[in-house]
Structure 1
């Protein structure tokens, strides 16, 4: 069973995931959009929100990628399976799948908020899925409670936004 990535128009991910499940039927075990948990200030109060981790992509777990590709042609929207272009479908690598499984909740596919502290010039993640990933953090915005980190996904290094609350700075 491989985990494949389908590129869709940004903003249509949820609709595309539902249609893929419906059109491809039993050949698709799961079709989902990984999300991240962030905090937003709304009316002066911090609330948890979910946003897309990879805008414009739907993840499809299947053992029949050719059936899924054929089903994509029946969709009333742009949707293409990421591959080499010559009808060769490339699933996510073991490392990419391991990263997703280690950092997102298996049931909800959400990368939850992490907490950390800053000691001098170093960031130390104290809790959450980013614990132990300090070396991959590129930038932190303490006021928006966000961090940017480098991950290897889709066969290349990609900088993604993640939720990180810095509780103290020493």
Structure 2
């Protein structure tokens, strides 16, 4: 099961410190910040950069809340922080979880760049994780090489960005 912990501004530094200093490598695979690859132009050429998929959000992969609580206690998380995490997490719907897992690389939890083209106003993705998922693309910024997507079956509006390079438009 995949949970989302959306940190508030005053908690984010505490949680990042706990994440960086207390968590083992194995637990960091279960508690992670998903990222996406995007292109940025500097010094006259394009470079790939990693950016967080959602602002101030950590994703937690575990069976249930009980397992998460035992992980936090085992890693010597402060009571205040553990209580905030337990009260602030929400579980993703199955459709959302499957969608994100299909997009992300399993080891790095990163959504890599996609490549495609636009023909007669329709976007076709030829390479990358967005291939076959064109219907979820809501907006494309060809200059910044970004695509905005909406999570399926979402409560509210869960929008995410990912890298998409449009190589031709006809």
- Name the TM-score class by shorter chain: 0.7 to 0.9
Corresponding residue number in structure 2 for 1:158: 158
Cα distance in 1 for partners of 2:144, 2:121 equals 19
Gaps of 5+ in 2: none
- Residues 83-162 of structure 1 aligned to structure 2 (within 5 Å): 90-152=90-152, 155-162=155-162
Q: How many aligned positions are there?
A: 162
- Tell me the equivalent position of 1:167: 167
Select 1:21's aligned residue among 6, 11, 23: 23
8 Å CA contact 1:7, 1:82 repeated in 2: no
Q: Note the alpha carbon deviations across 1:15-72, whole angstroms, 9 max, x for none.
A: 45446736xxx98871111100000001221000000001111111223524635846
Q: 1:20 to 1:48 in 2, by over 3 A?
A: same
In the alignment, what sits opposite 1:31?
31
Q: What CA distance in whole angstroms lies between the structure 2 residues aligned with 1:50 and 1:81? A: 28
Match of 2:7 in 1: 8
| CA RMSD of superposed structures (Å) | 3.2
Match of 1:74 among 76, 79, 95: 79
Distance 2:80 2:27 in 1: 16
Aligned to 1:65: 65
**Which one has the bigger strand percentage?**
1
2:158 aligned counterpart, secondary structure: strand
Q: Find the aligned partners of 1:8 and 1:60 in 2 and give their Cα distance.
A: 13
